[in-house]
Structure 1
Amino acid sequence: MSKLDQVLQIEPSVELVFRGPFNEVVTADLKLTNPSDKRVCFKVKTTAPKRYCVRPNSGVIESKGAVTVAVMLQPFDYDPNEKNKHKFMVQTMFAPDGKIENQEQLWKDVLPEQLMDSKLKCVLDPTGNSASQNSVVHEEKPTVGNVDSQKRQDEEIRRLKEQINALKEENSNIKAEEVRLRKVAMSDTVSSTPPPSQRVEVPTQASALPPYVYLIVVLILGILIGKIIL
């Protein structure tokens, strides 16, 4: 049985471009539009899950609706000589009628011939000047049923960026506190050692006179007394 064609309209459709610099989080948007008369379940996968954060990475798109997926590239040291082979895949299937109780179980139970998928290459542009026609996301007015979903996604992106900035600030504070404690420890060590001018000299006890000195004194006193008596 031949594989089903992708029902969603994916923009960009070929390449997902991330424009540098890459010393902070870089976000690229992936717009998924459902032109069909049925609900569609979607899931976004990547070959480098530790490098990218995808929000939302799965969900359901109503008929004639659309979802914007934010793909966030985490900060890293860019090497122009390193070949980038990262890829993304948008996997979809028609949603069953009624309420979906467990979407994860739905993906486990789906038959392979019911799946549709599209693959995109990941392009890293350190200059930020890439103008690939396939990577440009055109700005369109959001549909009525998609405004709340877009707001939630924007709020999630903002929250993640705030968490990253807070972690950076906390790391800087820890380093500053460590330097301060080192300075305090050195200052206490220096202040605990009194300078030479303040050191108290402990006087030594005068040594006793030798015994023969006392004998000489006694002899002299005896001679003087004898002269006085005579």
Structure 2
Amino acid sequence: MSEATILSRRHGAVAQVVLNRPAKRNALDWPMLDGLVTTLRGFDVDPDIRAAVISGEPRAFAAGADIGALGEASAMELYRSGFSEQWDAVAAIETPIVAAVSGYCLGGGLELALICDIVVCERGAVFGLPEAAIGTLPGAGGTQRLVRAVGKSLAMEMILAGRRLDAEEACRFGLASTLVEAGAAEAEALALAGRIAERAPLAARFAKRAVLQSFETPLSAGIAFERALSALMAASEDRAEGMRAFAEKRTPRFTGR
């Protein structure tokens, strides 16, 4: 029996997905993406899970989509396959997601990291969208999300000319938020997810939705959306508990209600 390409682990209120196809440097194929989406959806409906981490292996977070599988498909097969829509399914996950990036983070792997809410990377990580070198272009949101992360000029250079960013550049240009030494990305991502898990879970999910809305709407509409979510939170038990705990100078006990 072949080894599972998606592994799931629990660390208290933090769940972890490990991309586990090391022989292919975690190249993303349909079964792997389907397993990833199914696992993340399971996290979303588990009230005990408050944050998630996606990690790979030391050589690669994910070195891209599986070229062999894609190269054999016709245009209509690709269009109807729903393959690229798997990234959309990850983007729809409400649980806050932290990416722990080591090694190669290229093509579809970078598109996956761009969907994650926070990116932790370690020295030696490499980021890029090399699709133009093999006669294609990013098809899972890379052209749209990368320009929002690093700006037009750098995104164009990465997509058109194949420029790759090292870990230090990724942090400097806003692609990642935290840089750690080699071998430490997973531990740092889990620690960061743990801090998220200590917050009120409803508030964290609503805040994630509000931040993501900023990419979809004008400023005035985004502020109105934020204000509506903030007002809705006033009806939650967690908000009342947070206020009481603050007044009583104690740690709040959030329940997600």
What is the TM-score when the length of structure 2 is the normalising length?
A: 0.25
The structure with more strand, counted as a fraction of residues: 1
| RCO higher in structure (CA 8 A, sep ≥6) | 1
The structure with more helix, counted as a fraction of residues: 2
What is the TM-score when the length of structure 1 is the normalising length?
A: 0.27
